Amino acid sequence: MPAQQSKLNHVFHALSDPTRRAVVARLKLGPAAVSELAMPFDMALPSFIQHMGVLEKSGLVSSKKQGRIRIYELTPTTLEVAGGWITQQQKM
């Protein structure tokens, strides 16, 4: 499968869940630690970390360790890939 198709599969799949969309909406305000991101959700931390894994695999977010804390940030260009595909379908 071409790389772009695979990318779109992962990004749209990542966006198909309300928790993951809420994390994207939070991260557009700026980077945050996983504990802060998890706070609004009534969910066990391992489940939440799985959602973060799906987001990271899709390329919508990236993370780095600062000491013992993992900080996530949004990768806006990945959102553009999905938005670009939709815009393309709306043309003509």
Judged by CB under 8 A, the stretch of 10-18, 32-40, 46-54, 63-71 that binds a second copy is: 10-18
Q: How far is the CB of 67 from a second copy (least distance, A)?
A: 29
Please give the residues from 19 up to 58 whose contact with a second copy meets the rule CB under 8 A.
21, 24-25, 28-29
Residue 91 in 3-state DSSP? coil
The answer to whether the beta carbons of residues 8 and 81 sit under 8 Å apart is: yes
Other C-beta atoms lying within 10 Å of the C-beta of residue 60: 26
Size of the site for a second copy (CB under 8 A): 27
What sign for the dihedral angle of Cα 81, 56, 23, 29? negative
For a second copy, the binding residues (CB under 8 A) are 1, 5, 8-10, 12-13, 15-18, 21, 24-25, 28-29, 76, 79-80, 82-83, 85-87, 89-90, 92
